[in-house]
Amino acid sequence: MIVELVTFRAPPGGDWDSILNEAREVIPRWRADPQLLRKHFLLSDDEAECGGLYFWPTRAAAEAAHDAAWRENVARRTGALPTIRYFALQMLLDNEAGTVTEWLKNGTTVTRPAD
């Protein structure tokens, strides 16, 4: 499991409401990507930086979704290229579900109660 953190400048003149509206507009694009497992839309406290926290089955899936054309589109809208970082998801504590899930190096996934 891969977690991808994408950050970029907020669009010039952007505020909470306009940035939220832009996020709503891209929902169909992300819903149509069969590889995307989950996406969190992020906005910094000062509303100067946006981010996306994505969950993918592989890094290749993440890289395909954020190709050169996508990065250039972000640069046109915001004035700067996004920053993209990749992380292997090792463990997830889900307090709502009361579970802990571990992704082992051999590819095995283990979920157990959080107690």
The CATH number for 63's domain is: 3.30.70.100
Residue 103 located in a structural domain: no
Residue 112 located in a structural domain: no
Q: How far apart are CA 94 and CA 29, in angstroms?
A: 27
Please, which pLDDT band fits residue 98 given cuts at 50, 70 and 90? Answer: very high
Residue 101 located in a structural domain: no
pLDDT digits (tens, 9 = 90+) for 6-34: 999 999 899 999 999 999 999 999 999 99
Residue 99 located in a structural domain: no
> How is residue 87 written in tokens?
């992380």
Range of the domain at 33: 2-89
> How is residue 65 written in tokens?
């979704």
Decide if 54 contacts 3 (C-beta within 8 A).
Answer: yes
pLDDT digits (tens, 9 = 90+) for 32-75: 999 999 999 999 999 999 999 999 999 999 999 999 999 999 99
Domain total in the chain:
1
